[in-house]
Structure 1
Amino acid sequence: MTPGDLRIQAAELTAFASEALEKSGARPADALTVAKHLVGANLAGHDSHGIGLLPAYVKHAVEGLVDVTADPEILHDKGAVLKVAAHDSWGKVAGDFAMKAAFPKVDALGLCAVTVSNAHHLGRIGAYGELAAQEGFAALFFVNVTDHDPMVAPYRGTDARFGTNPVCIALPPTGAKPAFLLDMATSRIAMGKARVAANKGGRVPFGSIIDADGMPTDDPSGFKGFEQKGALAPFGDHKGYGLAFAAELLAGAFSGGGTIQPGNERRGGIRNQMLAIVMQPDAFGDPADMEREMEAMWSYATASPPADWDSPVIAPGDPERALRKRRSESGIPLDPETVKQLNAAAEAVGVEGRLGVKE
């Protein structure tokens, strides 16, 4: 949290976002589902996928870039493979539909590979990993982004050719350890982090952004609001680039929804395609032995002497759990520029209430 930020409780943000989405045309149940998903990302510390995206969501609903009346459907159901067509429905609605359709197959067959095509923004992919983990499943997710211009440069490139193409791996909790959750963009920073930094007038790690001239920089000003001048860089150079490329092909081609290459339409919205592989750990061995091994590895990794004794070694998923607890109690920090954008978007569709205004 930086000086000047406001602290707003999750319930207030959820009600505000839900009303704005409903006034944009969303069905009440869908509006609440999407609003909870956005605020849930803030609670978990993923502000790049949180309430700050509401202006874009409202704009997409008003302009028809998300079909507010569409429902996802299963197009293909054969063995352990499911293919879900979202039909431009809300991403969270489509993502939940796909996961819940996959779970019975995972129980029956040991695993299920499910794809989603043409969903509006799926949001924080870790939420679907958490959903699988809560059911006792492990899951791997590969996602690509279409329907708008690319955001991430390839390794050795100087302009954008990919989306941020997240990859997520989730494992269920054991008797002694919580769920493992690795949820990351394949860019060095998420687009939303560049936007938040630009809104605050801050900087980002040098080299995480390439400017409009193709040069590395730490200045995110080209990403203020929802502009884009320049590109994000892949994390880990060729490693992140390779994962982004893999996610593009696995999600885009296997789902049938397409990749970000310019032969596919770019209307200026956000479409996601996803491949999720959901597994029942019991199908792969003795559950007790697997739990013991996972717990031993968890303890071994986190027992490494820390480089900074104020920052002990943690496991993937720990930061989200810690921030969710803290922000649930103290509120979600929002910078004044983001609050201004949220209020303007809500006002444009007829919401009377304003964030950050004391009655």
Structure 2
Amino acid sequence: MGERLLHPGRLADLLTAILEADGCETREARIVGDHLVDASLRGHDSHGVIRIMRYHQWLRSGRVKANRELRMISDSGAMLHLDGQDGMGQRLSVEATALGIERAQRHGLALVALRRAGHVGRIGAYAEQACAAGLVSIHFVNVAGSRLVAPFGSAGRAISTAPVAIGVPHGDGDDFVLDFATSYVAEGKALVAGTGGKPLPADALITGEGERTADPRALYGPTLDTDVPDPCAGAGALRTMGDHKGSGLALACELLAGALTGNGTNGPADHPFGNGMFSILVRPASLDDLGGFAREVAEYVAYVRDLPPEAGVDRVRIPGDPERERLARRRASGLPVPSPVAEGIAAIAGTLGLAGRLADLDMG
């Protein structure tokens, strides 16, 4: 199907304009548009620009609502409970993380429980936000109303993709940022594969009959051929990563980010769609009585990076390195976007009277 190399900044401007036309005020549209392009630049295409088609549909249908503010449910100083009121997830998560940062800097520790946010996107962005403020952070996420993943040993759906992110500051943006879905692959990666992108591993999904497969149709069914494939339409499911260990972590995300926040789990009750995020933020100085935290992190990261690589690997990397390398490369050479995705974005722009914004998107 091929791909196009698009100018990242101009593409972010176009996505922002699409979201504004769909009702988002300018600041909210810019946060979301920039987040989508940044996710793709860092190699997380599943949470990147491909999502604009779904956001456009959700905003038009009212499934996700523009310009919703965080509602404070409870505030006990170091612990905040927030309701996103079904708004745009990236805007709400940026603001919730900023509140957590302020409280952690004041109290040494903050717990932030966020419920009913729209799709919050790449979770590592919020770990990076905390790292930029010098804080360690852990983020557990679930997606209520999104049964996509089969627990280990099962062919039935009972879990969302349930991502986890951990950030440890290392200075100058060279931070340890671990960010992964607890499903074998993120749902968006199945969407990318189904729309002409990188194929999935041979056993990333399971059919309704219990057979492992790489075919995204197990997840999307016949809707894979539509403009906005529905991941709930197939008879199969995504599998968890790491067999029973990954499955256990995924279930923990449902319990922490779903049950504890009040967002709802993907059990027998049908909860409205929405992301829950349970975040822990720590100011290292509160625990660093010996004054060695920054030095220990730096020495250990350097030690790991300097280890001899295994055969076929050029060098050892820490979590966050691959994303930073792709970011630099794609900023310089252009953002590769599968042709069907680029065509879908162009079609939306056309329907919204933004066809003139398509000029000069291509690099080179």
Q: Is 1:236 aligned to residue 239 of structure 2?
A: no
Which residue in 2 is equivalent to 1:312? 315
Letter in 2 for 1:104: E
Q: Deviations over 1:196-242 (max 9, x none)?
A: 11211763111111124321012224443523322111000011111
Which residue in 1 is equivalent to 2:190? 194
Q: How far did residue 264 of structure 1 move?
A: 3.4
Q: Deviations over 1:124-171 (max 9, x none)?
A: 0100000000000000000000134x1111000002211100000001
Q: 1:227 to 1:355 in 2, by over 3 A?
A: farther
Matches of 1:209 and 1:187 in 2, distance apart?
9
Matches of 2:293 and 2:156 in 1, distance apart?
45
Q: How many residues align?
A: 352
Matches of 2:3 and 2:20 in 1, distance apart?
27
Which residue in 2 is equivalent to 1:162? 159
Matches of 1:39 and 1:209 in 2, distance apart?
27
CA contact (8 A) 1:257 1:273 kept: yes
Q: 1:81 to 1:336 in 2, by over 3 A?
A: same
Q: 1:211 to 1:348 in 2, by over 3 A?
A: farther
Matches of 2:263 and 2:357 in 1, distance apart?
38
Which residue in 2 is equivalent to 1:51? 49
Q: Is 1:258 aligned to residue 234 of structure 2?
A: no
Where in structure 1 are there 5+ consecutive unaligned residues?
Answer: none
Q: How far did residue 309 of structure 1 move?
A: 5.0
What is the root-mean-square deviation in Å for CA atoms of aligned residues?
A: 2.0
Of 226-235 and 302-311, the range deviating more from structure 2: 302-311
Matches of 1:116 and 1:330 in 2, distance apart?
37
CA contact (8 A) 1:249 1:259 kept: yes
Matches of 1:358 and 1:143 in 2, distance apart?
34
For 1:248, which of 232, 254, 261 is the aligned residue? 254
For 2:332, which of 329, 334, 338 is the aligned residue? 329
Q: How far did residue 354 of structure 1 move?
A: 6.6
Letter in 2 for 1:281: P
Q: Is 1:346 aligned to residue 352 of structure 2?
A: no
Q: Deviations over 1:74-105 (max 9, x none)?
A: 22110321011111111111111111112221
Of 57-66 and 16-25, the range deviating more from structure 2: 16-25
Residue 86 of structure 1: SS of its match in structure 2? strand
Which residue in 2 is equivalent to 1:152? 149
For 1:1-359, what aligned pairs fall within 5 Å after superposition? 4-148=2-146, 150-174=147-171, 178-200=174-196, 203-222=199-218, 223=220, 224=224, 225-228=228-231, 229=234, 230-266=236-272, 270-286=273-289, 288-353=291-356, 355=358
Of 181-190 and 302-311, the range deviating more from structure 2: 302-311
Residue 69 of structure 1: SS of its match in structure 2? coil
Letter in 1 for 2:136: A
Structure 1 segments of 4 or more deviating over 4 A?
354-359
- Tell me the TM-score normalised to structure 1 length: 0.92
Q: Deviations over 1:290-341 (max 9, x none)?
A: 1222222212222222123543110011011111111111111011111122
- Tell me the TM-score normalised to structure 2 length: 0.91
Letter in 2 for 1:343: A
Q: 1:350 to 1:162 in 2, by over 3 A?
A: farther
Give % identity: 35
Of 291-300 and 315-324, the range deviating more from structure 2: 291-300
CA contact (8 A) 2:35 2:90 kept: yes
